[in-house]
Structure 1
Amino acid sequence: MRLLFAILLLLAPVPLLAQTALPPAPYADRQIDDPALERKARTLMETIRCLTCQSQSIADSNASMAGDMRSQIRERIMAGEQPEQIRAWLISRYGDWVSYEPTAAPILWPLWAAPVLLLFAGLILMRGRIGKRRRP
């Protein structure tokens, strides 16, 4: 039993040694030389959500995942892809949630209609309550 415990103690730090620091992606923090292409890439990056931070765009995030995504976007822009093609690729890879731009898919229509319906119901309720108070 003591031997097993000693082996476990010796193997405990092994996962720490297994972690490696990979070099950052080539275009994670390096801009494209052509200002027009960099502007296209930057505009797209501001509309893509960081998968690690979740509250920042990949343009503003310092997470390594965001750096990888920035690099992929810049490389694809330099290869001649249009931003909407890259957005479609990112959405197909990571899901609709990765984009800050809302979709108008039919399954989401109830979410778009809910605030209007709740406002309408509130107005009807308020009208009924005010009408009751005015009557003697």
Structure 2
Amino acid sequence: MKKTLLAAVSICIFISTNLAAQTKPKLSIDALNPRLIIVDSKQIVVNQEPIYFAKRLKNVRVTWYAPAGSAYRFDKDGIVIDNAADEFVDCRPAKDGKSFSCLNKHSKPGKYKYTVTLQGKPAVAPLDPILVND
């Protein structure tokens, strides 16, 4: 009797654990489409830090998105990449300012500090995260 009860409990635990694992939301990290959020109405946070580009990702456009549903916008200097040389080119905001994109040539590996600046109220401090070309 004890063995049967133990087996039944073990099966129930196994099934419930597997069902729970199947219903967990999957985290999606997309280096080509980083999302910004504002924390405590004062700090920009990017949903991935650093943004990592695998070797196979060459000549790809990365597009940052301002916080969904917010009044924050990128201006022409919304993303400034330090020492980008010819690695990150053709950087510009979308016409509506809700996104900002750059072409990542990824011709050589390296780490690149960049500055994110959003326009809107309340004003938020710029963020200085990192891009990594593997």
How high is the TM-score relative to the length of structure 1? Answer: 0.29
More strand by share: 2
Higher helix share: 1
Q: Greater relative contact order (Cα 8 A, min sep 6): structure 1 or 2?
A: 2
Could you say which structure has the larger radius of gyration? 1
